[in-house]
Structure 1
Amino acid sequence: MDIFRLIQDIKKHLKLSFDEVDRWFEKDEKILNNLPVNGGWTIQQILEHIYLTNFYLLILIEKASKKAMRNTLELDLNSEIKNYSFDHDKFEEVGKYGAFDWIRPKHMEPKGSLDLSEIRNLLIQQYHQCSGYLDLMKNGEGLLYKTTMTVNELGKINVYEYIYFLSLHAQRHLTQMKNNELEMIKNKKNDFQKI
C-alpha cells in the first residue's frame, strides 16, 4: 500500500468536500432557510449539523492521533504500512445520501444557536485541524491506532480512515442540500406556472 498516496488522496477529498460545503454559505437566505416539503432540515441546519458532527469526530480523531504518534515508540510502522490495505468500497456508502439508515445522536442535531458566519468560520477551522493531523502523521503513523466506528458497521478504523469518514459525511449532506435547493426551485417554478 502506498501510504503517501492514500494521505494525498484523503487531503484532496477533504479539500474538495470542505470547499463544496463552503460554497453553500454564499447562497441566498431564502434557499438556506427553505424548509423541505418532507419536513427535513433546512440547508442552514444541515450546515450546522456538519459542523457539530465534525466537532465530535475531531475529539476522537485528536485522541487517536496522539495515541498513534505514541505508538510509533512501540509498534513497527514499516510492518503496518506493508500489511495495510485500504478498503475503499467499505467507506463509499457513507458519502451517499440515503444509502443506509443513520441514527445520529441528539448532540449532533442542529439547535439554531449559531449564525451562518460562525458556522462557516468553525468549519474552516475544522478543515485546518484535519489537514494538520494529516501533516502530523505524514509518514503513515495514522495506521498505528484504531477506533471503533459503529456507523454502517465499519468496525475498527485507523486515523486516516476516520478523517476520510468525516469528509464523506460532508459529501453525504452536500447531496441533501442540493436536493433541498432543487425542490425549492421546482416549487417556485410550479407556483409561477399556476399564475
Structure 2
Amino acid sequence: MLIAEINQRLTTAFDELNNWFAAPAFLRNYHPANGGWSIDEILEHVALTNHFLLILIEKGAVKALKNAQGLDLTTELAARQSARARLDEISQPGAFTWMRPDHMAPQGLKTGTEIAATLRKQLTQCQAVLARLPNGEGVLYRTTMTVNDLGKMDVYDFVYFLAKHAERHLAQIAKVAAECSAIG
C-alpha cells in the first residue's frame, strides 16, 4: 500500500507539472511582483532538485537491496518509523525555513521541451526504484535529510519527499499563475 500511495503521488504531481508546459509562454515567463521565479524557472528548479535527490535515492536503493541479504525485513518493517507529518509539510510553502543550495537554482540553460523530457525520465526513474523494492526493502537503508530537520529517512521516504517537493512547487506555480491572471 505504501508503494502504491507514493506512486500515485508521484504520478499526480508529475502529470500536473507536465501540464504547465502547455501554458502560454507569457504566463510561463511571468515573474511575480515579489521577485520570485517564473513558472519556467520553478519547473527547472524541480528538475534540478530531482536530479540530486535521485542520486541519493538510487544509492539508497542499491544499499537497501544489499542490506536485504543480512537484515530481517519483517523485523525492520515492524520497526519502521516515518516522519510522515513532517514530510507532508514539504508540500506547504512557508511551513519551514530552509535555504536551497545554489546548484538547485534555475540557470535557464535548458528549453522547456528539455525540462519536460527530464521530468518524464525522472518519474520513470522513481517508479523503477519503487519497482525494485516491492516487498519493503526500501526500509533497509536510511540517509540523513537536513530539510525541515527530517533526519534519517528510508528510501521510500526519500521518494515521497521528492513527490512532496513537486507538490510544494505546484502550489507556488498556482500562485504565480493567479498573480499573472489578476494583472491581465
TM bucket normalised to smaller:
over 0.9
CA contact (8 A) 2:45 2:105 kept: yes
The CA distance in 2 between the partners of 1:172 and 1:37, in whole Å, is 19
Give 1:182's aligned residue.
178
Is residue 2:35 matched to residue 1:39? yes
Q: CA shift at 1:40, angstroms?
A: 0.5
Question: Which of structure 1's runs of 4+ aligned residues deviate more than 3 A?
Answer: none
Once residues 104 and 82 of structure 2 are traced to their aligned partners in structure 1, the CA distance between those partners, rounded to angstroms, is 28
TM-score w.r.t. structure 1 length?
A: 0.93
Matches within 5 A, 1:12-161: 12-161=8-157
Identify unmatched segments of 5+ residues in structure 1. Answer: 189-195
Shift of 1:31: 0.3
The alpha carbon displacement at 1:87 in A equals 3.6
CA distance in 2, matches of 1:84, 1:40: 38
Q: TM-score scaled by structure 2? A: 0.98
Distance 2:112 2:181 in 1: 22
Q: Distance in 2 between matches of 1:127 and 1:186?
A: 32
Amino acid paired to 1:23: N
Number of corresponding residues: 184
- Give the equivalent residue in structure 1 for 2:169: 173
Once the two structures are TM-superposed, the CA of residue 101 in structure 1 deviates from its matched residue by 1.6
Letter in 2 for 1:173: H
Residue number in structure 2 paired with 1:192: none
**For residue 18 of structure 1, what is the amino acid of its counterpart?**
F
Of stretches 166-175 and 95-104 in structure 1, the one that deviates more from structure 2 is: 95-104
Equivalent pairs: percent with the same residue? 45
1:86 CA displacement: 3.4
CA separation in 1, counterparts of 2:57 and 2:177? 32
Alpha-carbon RMSD: 0.8
Larger Rg: 1
